């Protein structure tokens, strides 16, 4: 079934499907319901990194040096981890400045310099054309191979194809049509091509599935799993060495490291990657998922590369079959027609995806940064007077797409056969790596100047051209091959592949080392020895400090001059078309709350900046600058003024940081104050409670004293026995009053620290026994049992006998209060415990709730509900005890569970006196 017409029909059906998807996505975008606003689509669209080079070439490279192809996919994994910091910044800058391409980005950073934009464009086109030709070659080769089915013959053996029957040309033209249809449909200030992105994401899926399918077939269909393939490879003497391919720090390890670096840079600076990652990004947040999804895609598409490579080498041992074609020839050799067709489509999708995005990105660059700046400067054309330039702009872009594709085709026809797929791709990688210093330097270092960037780019490009592209030409017989062996004019030191005698490196590593030295050296060196203009300084500060400024108005602060709204409208209408310009103006007027047209739309700095940014979205920053300057009267700012504005801005930022800091401190202080205030209010409430409790306590005895005194005074005939009884009560109540007042006085002394302590060596056992005797009457009255568990002897300690007695008495009277008459039982225990004496007073009362346990030692606190329970004490006893024990460096605490009784315990240190003496 693999006749030519079947393949052609299927290919066209596939491309038709792409058109349909792109068309549908564009329709949805126009209707405001974007299909690409998803991190998954974004991650898949990044998969445009995997081209035909990955699809066919990885296996080719793996078949020659084992793991040598992997750095090209591991590098992006290492780089994308840095995207959180780096790419987010680039995306933010690009959105604020309406950047339309990589060239625009670099030109914009270095003072909107048209010269830099042009240079970047030239480097990109020269560097990428071989890469595009590589895709055409892959499609054409795979088509030729499939056509030979069931024979397996390499295209090189078939001989020259007549020009008109060349599939590569046909492919190039169809792809040009696609790129024109979806890349230059209309001019859009946001420069999004949603249809293209949707198609690319779909292609990423197709190529992944196709590769996984053929990988699974080879690994599990032809062989019995990974282990089997590798075991057979290990058994072959020729293949065994590839299982441990790395050797020599200057050899394959250096290649490995430099390939990693190269691909780290390529994933950011290939024009198509910049296009999908930055320009087509619709939401910065999509980056988050892509950071791990995209590496996962890379991993998945590489899992089967080694098994296919070994499988191919084992299956076609003669070397007649190109390893680049194993992916296709293995299923063909096994008579799997459908699979072969799927592989062909997978390869087609890998190639077309790359070519479409790359040509669209390059055409934007060529139009905005190469052709337009020149046309606008040519006064002969009188472009300034043309009413509508949108047609011209689109025409230039379409022309650029066709031109780039034809250049790629030409390169393929003339030079394509000299190299394997991987080598051509790497030459392109090395070219775009030259953008890294000026971009990365540009977004993190304000010091880079326009001349520095020009010098760096030019130096890097020249070295690349000399060490990589010229040798490639030489191999294609465009230059005498002797040039590679002996150097130009027989000067061995200038040998392009062993520059200054640096030998033993592969030519990519060699070229990268020299070009990076030249590039970074010139960029930094010249930047440090030249001054920035006002425009450069302003752009540098806008780029580097992008996160410190808010909104697009950042650039407006740097502009002074006069302009009129109708003139600006005329300008915008010429490039965007009147309808789009109308929308842009109305959006702005709406945001400002004024009328357009007819209203008083002020053409102030902010508005001029707004218009310039919108225009930059269509024609690039440097052209937009020229055009806006032509219709407004500007007062040029001096470098000093720009510096001042930048400094002011950074001072404002610093102030606002300080303010934030201060307000945070204030907030903290307020919280503390509020807590303190709450505490004070609580204490105040407690004091009120206390006063009422004490008043109550005081009033009860006072009332009875007074009433009995009155009886005695008014009725002299009271019997003697009665009289004595009354006097007894009066005396007792007076004593109670005295006790209460004493306690209060005691507490105030304790708290103010004016208590006198009469210290002497005391025997704790003695203290407990005497206190128990004193309290025995109380226990008898309440019908509660009192028991003691005391050791024979305990060491003496130094303390105030009366105070400690007071503590124990407090605990005992406290216990008895909460015990039920008849059943109640209180036990006192004494023990020596690790340098402390410990006293426990346990009862079998109702227990104390955990909530109350926490506060029971506080002043005026009593267990139980203050509202419903009758107070059963002054609430001072425990607090006083706490102070006394604390004074002696001991600890007092309570353990209790509701319903299971309560144990109050305290400890006193035995060595207190000794320790105190030591301390002095």
Partner 1 sequence: MDNFEIKGQRLVALSMLGCLVFNYPILELFNRAGTILGIPVLYAFIFAAWGLLIALMALVVEARDRTGR
List of residues contacting partner 1 (CB under 8 A): 66-67, 70-71, 74, 77-82, 84-85, 225-228, 230-231, 234, 243-247, 249, 253, 256-257, 260, 288-289, 291-292, 295-296, 299, 303, 306
Tokens of 844: 């079998």
Q: Compute the least distance from the CB of residue 73 to partner 1, in Å.
A: 8
Which residue number, 43 or 903, has a Cβ lying nearer to partner 1?
A: 43
The neighbour count for residue 30, using CB atoms within 10 Å, is: 13
Round to the nearest angstrom and report the end-to-end CA distance of the chain.
105
Q: Compute the least distance from the CB of residue 426 to partner 1, in Å.
A: 18
Which residue number, 135 or 302, has a Cβ lying nearer to partner 1?
A: 302
**Helical (H) or strand (E) element with 760:** strand 759-762
> Which stretches within 467-620 are classed as H helix?
470-475, 482-486, 507-529, 534-544, 565-576, 578-592, 605-619
Q: Compute the least distance from the CB of residue 667 to partner 1, in Å.
A: 16
Which residue number, 55 or 310, has a Cβ lying nearer to partner 1?
A: 310
Residues 14 and 9: their CA atoms lie apart, in Å, by: 9
Give the single-character DSSP code of 504: S
Pairing state between β 891-896 and 902-909: antiparallel
Which residue number, 69 or 131, has a Cβ lying nearer to partner 1?
A: 69
Q: What is the dihedral of CA 140, 327, 125, 459, to 10 degrees?
A: -140
Which residue number, 43 or 881, has a Cβ lying nearer to partner 1?
A: 43
Nearest of 210, 204, 346, 180 to residue 276 by alpha carbon? 204
Which residue number, 284 or 766, has a Cβ lying nearer to partner 1?
A: 284
Give the single-character DSSP code of 859: T
Residues 836 and 832: their CA atoms lie apart, in Å, by: 6
Q: Compute the least distance from the CB of residue 284 to partner 1, in Å.
A: 12
- Token look-up 């808010």 returns 550
Our measurement of the distance from residue 858's CA atom to the centroid of its chain's CA atoms, rounded to an integer in Å, reads 51
Which residue number, 245 or 488, has a Cβ lying nearer to partner 1?
A: 245
Tokens of 308: 């296919």
Exposed/middle/buried for residue 87 (C-beta within 10 Å: 0-12, 13-18, 19+): buried
Which residue number, 306 or 340, has a Cβ lying nearer to partner 1?
A: 306
Which residue number, 241 or 659, has a Cβ lying nearer to partner 1?
A: 241
Tokens of 74: 């591991």
Q: Compute the least distance from the CB of residue 668 to partner 1, in Å.
A: 17
Kindly give, in sequence order, each residue whose CB lies less than 8 Å from that of residue 740, ignoring residues fewer than 6 positions away: 694, 697, 698, 874
Q: Compute the least distance from the CB of residue 247 to partner 1, in Å.
A: 8
Q: Compute the least distance from the CB of residue 591 to partner 1, in Å.
A: 28
Q: Compute the least distance from the CB of residue 422 to partner 1, in Å.
A: 18
Q: Compute the least distance from the CB of residue 37 to partner 1, in Å.
A: 19
Q: Compute the least distance from the CB of residue 153 to partner 1, in Å.
A: 32
Tokens of 602: 């002020």
CA–CA distances in Å: residue 638 to residues 147, 530, 643: 68, 16, 9
Which residue number, 256 or 801, has a Cβ lying nearer to partner 1?
A: 256
Residues 599 and 41: their CA atoms lie apart, in Å, by: 43
Kindly give, in sequence order, each residue whose CB lies less than 8 Å from that of residue 442, ignoring residues fewer than 6 positions away: 106, 109, 110, 448, 453, 540, 543, 544
8 A C-beta contact, residue 276 and residue 358: no
Give the single-character DSSP code of 222: I
Which residue number, 221 or 245, has a Cβ lying nearer to partner 1?
A: 245
Q: Compute the least distance from the CB of residue 296 to partner 1, in Å.
A: 5
Which residue number, 66 or 331, has a Cβ lying nearer to partner 1?
A: 66
Q: Compute the least distance from the CB of residue 285 to partner 1, in Å.
A: 11
Give the single-character DSSP code of 223: S
Residues 239 and 233: their CA atoms lie apart, in Å, by: 6
Which residue number, 141 or 260, has a Cβ lying nearer to partner 1?
A: 260
Q: Compute the least distance from the CB of residue 80 to partner 1, in Å.
A: 8
8 A C-beta contact, residue 128 and residue 319: no
Q: Compute the least distance from the CB of residue 675 to partner 1, in Å.
A: 22
Q: Compute the least distance from the CB of residue 643 to partner 1, in Å.
A: 29
Q: Compute the least distance from the CB of residue 74 to partner 1, in Å.
A: 5
Which residue number, 248 or 566, has a Cβ lying nearer to partner 1?
A: 248
Which residue number, 283 or 688, has a Cβ lying nearer to partner 1?
A: 283
Residues 539 and 543: their CA atoms lie apart, in Å, by: 6
Which residue number, 67 or 830, has a Cβ lying nearer to partner 1?
A: 67
8 A C-beta contact, residue 210 and residue 346: yes
- Token look-up 């002299």 returns 716
* Helix, strand, or coil (residue 895): strand
Tokens of 143: 């088509």
Nearest of 279, 303, 289 to residue 73 by alpha carbon? 303
8 A C-beta contact, residue 819 and residue 780: no
Instruction: Compute the Cα dihedral for 593, 597, 602, 607 and give only its sign.
Output: positive
The neighbour count for residue 547, using CB atoms within 10 Å, is: 10
The neighbour count for residue 869, using CB atoms within 10 Å, is: 10
């Amino acid at each position: 079934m693999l006749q030519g017409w079947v393949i052609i029909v299927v290919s066209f059906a596939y491309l038709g499907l792409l058109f349909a998807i792109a068309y549908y996505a564009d329709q949805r975008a126009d209707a405001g319901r974007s299909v690409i606003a998803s991190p998954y689509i974004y991650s898949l669209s990044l998969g445009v990194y995997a081209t035909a080079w990955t699809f066919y070439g990885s296996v080719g490279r793996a078949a020659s040096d084992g793991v040598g192809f992997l750095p090209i996919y591991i590098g992006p994994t290492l780089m994308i981890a840095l995207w959180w910091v780096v790419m987010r910044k680039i995306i933010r800058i690009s959105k604020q400045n309406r950047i339309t391409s990589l060239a625009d980005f670099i030109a914009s950073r270095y003072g909107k310099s048209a010269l830099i934009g042009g240079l970047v464009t030239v480097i990109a086109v020269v560097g990428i054309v071989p890469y595009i030709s590589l895709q055409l070659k892959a499609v054409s080769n795979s088509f030729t191979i499939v056509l030979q089915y069931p024979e397996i013959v390499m295209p090189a053996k078939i001989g020259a194809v007549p020009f008109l029957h060349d599939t590569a040309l046909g492919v190039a033209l169809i792809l040009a049509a696609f790129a024109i249809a979806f890349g230059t449909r209309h001019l859009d200030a946001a420069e999004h091509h949603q249809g293209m992105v949707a198609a690319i994401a779909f292609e990423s899926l197709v190529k992944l599935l196709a590769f996984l399918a053929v990988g699974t077939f080879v690994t599990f269909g032809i062989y019995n799993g990974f282990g089997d393939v590798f075991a057979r490879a290990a058994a072959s003497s020729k293949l065994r060495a590839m299982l441990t391919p790395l050797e020599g720090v200057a050899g394959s390890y250096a290649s490995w490291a430099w390939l990693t670096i190269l691909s780290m840079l390529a994933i950011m600076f290939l024009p198509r990657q910049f296009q999908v990652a930055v320009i087509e990004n619709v939401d910065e947040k999509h980056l988050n998922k892509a950071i791990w999804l995209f590496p996962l895609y890379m991993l998945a598409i590489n899992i089967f590369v080694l098994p296919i490579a070994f499988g191919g080498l084992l299956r076609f041992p003669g070397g007649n079959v190109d390893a680049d074609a194993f992916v296709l020839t293995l299923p063909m050799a096994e008579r799997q027609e459908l699979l072969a067709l799927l592989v062909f489509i997978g390869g087609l999708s890998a190639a077309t995806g790359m070519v479409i995005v790359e040509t669209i990105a390059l055409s934007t660059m060529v139009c905005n940064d190469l052709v337009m700046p020149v046309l606008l400067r040519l006064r002969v054309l009188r472009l300034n007077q043309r009413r509508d330039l949108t047609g011209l702009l689109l025409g230039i872009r379409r022309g650029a797409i066709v031109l780039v594709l034809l250049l790629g085709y030409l390169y393929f026809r003339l030079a394509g056969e000299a190299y394997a797929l991987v080598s051509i791709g790497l030459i392109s990688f090395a070219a775009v790596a030259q953008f890294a210093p000026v971009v990365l330097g540009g977004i993190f270092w304000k010091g880079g100047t326009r001349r520095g960037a020009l010098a760096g780019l030019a130096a890097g490009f020249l070295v690349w051209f000399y060490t990589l592209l010229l040798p490639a030409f030489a191999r294609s017989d465009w230059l005498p091959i002797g040039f590679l062996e002996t150097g130009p004019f027989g000067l061995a030191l200038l040998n392009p592949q062993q520059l200054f005698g640096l030998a033993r490196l592969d030519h990519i590593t060699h070229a990268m080392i020299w070009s990076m030295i030249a590039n970074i050296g010139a960029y930094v060196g010249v930047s440090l020895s030249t001054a920035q203009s006002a425009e450069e300084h302003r752009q540098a500060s806008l780029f580097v400090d992008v996160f410190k400024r808010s909104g697009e108005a950042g650039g407006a602060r740097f502009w002074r001059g006069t302009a009129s709204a109708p003139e600006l409208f005329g300008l915008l209408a010429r490039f965007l078309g009147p309808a789009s310009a109308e929308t842009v103006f109305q959006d702005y007027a709406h945001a400002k709350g004024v009328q357009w047209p007819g209203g008083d739309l002020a053409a102030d700095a902010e508005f001029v900046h707004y218009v310039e940014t919108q225009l930059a979205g269509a024609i690039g920053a440097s052209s937009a600058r020229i055009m806006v300057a032509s219709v407004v009267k500007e007062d040029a700012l001096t470098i000093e003024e720009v510096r001042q504005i930048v400094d002011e801005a950074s001072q404002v930022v610093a102030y606002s940081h300080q303010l934030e800091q201060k307000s945070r401190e204030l907030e903290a202080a307020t919280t503390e104050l509020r807590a303190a205030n709450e505490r004070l209010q609580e204490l105040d409430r407690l004091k009120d409670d206390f006063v009422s409790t004490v008043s109550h306590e005081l009033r009860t005895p006072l009332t009875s004293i007074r009433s009995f005194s009155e009886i005695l005074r008014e009725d002299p005939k009271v019997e003697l026995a009665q009289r004595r009884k009354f006097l007894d009560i009066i005396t007792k109540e007076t004593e109670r009053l005295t006790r209460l007042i004493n306690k209060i006085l005691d507490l105030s002394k304790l708290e103010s620290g004016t208590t006198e302590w009469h210290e002497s060596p005391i025997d704790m056992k003695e203290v407990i026994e005497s206190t128990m005797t004193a309290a025995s009457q109380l226990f008898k009255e309440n019908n509660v049992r009192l028991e003691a568990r005391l050791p024979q002897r305990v060491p003496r300690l130094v303390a105030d006998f009366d105070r400690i007695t007071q503590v124990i008495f407090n605990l005992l009277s406290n216990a008895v209060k909460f015990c039920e008459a008849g059943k109640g039982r209180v036990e006192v225990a004494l023990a020596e415990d690790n340098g402390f004496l410990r006293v426990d007073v346990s009862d079998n009362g109702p227990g104390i709730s955990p909530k109350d346990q926490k506060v029971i030692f506080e002043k005026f606190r009593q267990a139980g509900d203050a509202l419903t329970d009758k107070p059963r004490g002054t609430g001072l006893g425990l607090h006083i005890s706490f102070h006394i024990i604390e004074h002696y460096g001991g600890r007092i605490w309570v353990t209790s569970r509701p319903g299971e009784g309560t144990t109050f315990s305290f400890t006193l240190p035995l060595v207190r006196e000794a320790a105190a003496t030591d301390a002095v």
